[in-house]
Structure 1
Amino acid sequence: MHTPPKTLVLGATGGIGYAITNSLLARQWPVTILVRNRAKATALFATNQLLTIVEGDAQDAARVDALAADVDFIVHAINYPYHQWFGRMESVTRHVIEAAKPRPERTLPGPATIVFPGNVYNFGNTHQPIRPDSQPAPCTRKGQLRVELEAMLQQAADAGQCRVLTVRLPDFWGPNVLNEGIAPVLRGALTGQPMPWLVNADIPHQFVYTPDAGEVTARLMEQHWHDRLTSANEVPAYRVWNYGGTTHTSMRDWFGQMMQQTGKVSSVRVYPRWLFSVLGLFNPVMREVKEMLYLYENTIRLDDRDTLAALPDFRPTPMNQALRDTLRWFSETQLKN
């Protein structure tokens, strides 16, 4: 039996990094996580002899390089608040690419594989389902930055500096997803307070449950590793996969499903576009949110047929169970008794 690959996860205390880490540990893969707050990481993850927690900053190139010396995968799940994207996302991505370079300590010859959770920002306000080979057409500054980050990764893979698995995801929700798009919704469902949404709560919206996203990502990593070990299939240096999760008929309907779980009656509070123009005068994060409002005025979808065909045994978590588990996690960890 082959020894399982080693993985370094950056961004493990965020929603997606947390889910991927849990899925890898469930496979008995050794994982090292680099975190800025050890206490937060310790509280999130149960004691596991396969998990190594290292405190530090992913902007520290030397630290990332040292931790990546003998790993086979680097999960680049680092994210920052919108107004900190520019500069920080480029620099940390360069650090990850450099850390993935070929080294004799790795299990297999050649560079490590970078696993990069992507999103839909690259494609702007498209009315066509986004395929893995869809051409970028960003309509925002942050969308253009995501295009540039993926181009950096692809150029590095083409040059033999790394391998890359990009897994594109839509908006996400689940345990340990605490961004301002989803946390107030869960709080409202649990307390009977208004459940907020942006611009339009009555159109379809694609959302992915993070444990499912973590499982899909781990399965793609597993498949990639098996192919490299056995050379059963040609292993591309750069590969893009999509996973779209669930397209809800409307947020209003989905919020109603949450209320059925909690037994609370909440209203749906829709924040209009003009409000963000006003808030943006005083708040840099709101200025950045304003340019992304097209995502809530229209339905943007990922086409994930190729991914589901490649993972025929994968089954997403039933919605009732996903809602129940997420609401329980949020209630136990985020609501004051």
Structure 2
Amino acid sequence: MIKRAAVLGATGGMGYALTEALCRRNIKTIAFARSEENLLNFKEDWGPNAVIHSGDALNPEDIEKAVTEADAVFHAINIPYPHWDPELSIILDNILHACRKHHKPFIYADNIYSYGLQSSPAAEVSPKNPHTKKGKLRQTLIEMIENSGVPYIIAHFPDFYGPHTGNTLLHYTLSQIIEKNKGMFVGKTDIPREFIYIKDGAEALAELSLNENSYGEVWNIPGAGTITGEEIASIVSNHLNRGVTFRPVHKWMIRAIGIFDPMMREYTELMYLNQTPVILDGSKYEARIGTLPKTPYETGIKRTLEHVLNNRKAAL
């Protein structure tokens, strides 16, 4: 029974949504992140069940203090691509060490990079074929968790979108559309891809963590089906009441931008996801846990646009 949880990376997209979902279940939630200012600002949204705890995940002592106060530990920390190696491994090692020492279960929010190329919807038992530097690193992290001796849940998610998802592909596009009628869309606009509304992902992971029989396993948490860039543009056009078009960003363009932008340079190897997208099979979750929350894309995209608009107005 989880009465008190720790969410590491609480000011990021998934961390924010997960803290929100746990607090709504009346679970005291330690919101851990580096910026105390951001944590205090978000506490107004989370309410009285949120406990603010600022610290650095690269510091073992900061991690251990947060872990000792919780019944379960959620790892939702994300850092910029250029710092993934070696910082992701250091952070994970700090968390697993503290969880093992204090006998705490561990819940890990992961992406789809370790699946590599998949020709059909990927189930948890599908062979993983990571062929990129990032995919191989994520697989190494998974193996660290599986061999740690710590009770764990590993959850794979598609690309996020929604409120507080500032470093995602769709946010990159939608933030441009607010001010003009054309936006850069990474990849071809006619290929169906899978995204997940971040609040749905957080709800599903929170439910999973409360099921005692879900530990020691890998889980897929998919979105509400697939959607093309052209369909997203149509939803945006209808919501903003003006014509909107997306300009596809191809691999050579990403590579060129990467000369000046380290983040884009790191994204080049992931462009395969925009040509042969990985789609997740969530049948295991629905058979054993229950119906997955699936906000329709039209609703989720409109809510995301409203969030971007409100933030833009607040900044003026």
TM over 0.5: yes
Amino acid at match of 1:66: K
CA distance in 2, matches of 1:259, 1:279: 27
Letter in 2 for 1:120: I
C-alpha distance in 1 between matches for 2:164 and 2:241: 22
Question: C-alpha deviations, 1:165-197, integer Å up to 9, x for none?
Answer: 111001110000001522232223433332221
Q: Which one of 176, 188, 210 corresponds to residue 198 of structure 2?
A: 210
- The alpha carbon displacement at 1:299 in A equals 2.3
CA distance in 1 between partners of 2:223 and 2:168 (Å): 20
Q: Contact between 2:160 and 2:168, CA under 8 Å: does it hold in 1?
A: no
Whole-Å separation in 2 of the counterparts to 1:272 and 1:318:
27
1:321 positional shift: 3.0
Contact 2:224 2:295 in 1 (8 A): no
CA distance in 2 between counterparts of 1:314 and 1:285 reads 32
Q: Deviations over 1:312-333 (max 9, x none)?
A: 3544224333233222222112
Measured in 1, the distance between the counterparts of 2:259 and 2:180 equals 31
Give yes or no for contact 2:30–2:70 (8 Å, CA) kept in 1. no
For 2:291 and 2:281, the matched residues in 1 are separated by 18
**Counterpart residue number, 1:116:** 108
- Residue correspondence of structure 1 range 168-207 to structure 2 within 5 A: 168-179=156-167, 181-207=169-195
> What is the aligned partner in structure 2 of residue 49 from structure 1?
48
1:277 and 2:265 correspond: no
Q: Corresponding residue for 1:153? A: 145
* Contact in 1 for aligned 2:208/2:214 (Cα 8 Å): no
In 1, are the aligned partners of 2:224 and 2:296 still within 8 Å (CA)? no
Pair 1:167-2:152 in alignment: no
CA distance in 2, matches of 1:324, 1:177: 14
Percent identity of equivalent pairs: 25
User: Where does the alignment leave 5 or more consecutive residues of structure 1 unmatched?
Assistant: 104-110, 225-234
Unaligned runs of 5+ in 2: none
Q: Distance in 2 between matches of 1:249 and 1:321?
A: 13
Mapping 1:30-179, distance limit 5 Å: 30-46=28-44, 48-103=47-102, 111-156=103-148, 159=149, 162-179=150-167
Per the normalisation by structure 1, the TM-score is: 0.88
Instruction: Give the Å deviation of 1:236.
Output: 6.4
State the 4+ residue runs in structure 1 displaced beyond 4 angstroms: none
Amino acid at match of 1:266: V
Alpha-carbon distance change, 61 to 309 in structure 1, aligned in 2, over 3 angstroms = same
Over the aligned positions, Cα root-mean-square deviation in angstroms equals: 1.8
Q: Which amino acid aligns with 2:145?
A: L
Q: Quickly say closer, same or farther: Cα 1:204–1:334, change in 2 above 3 A.
A: same
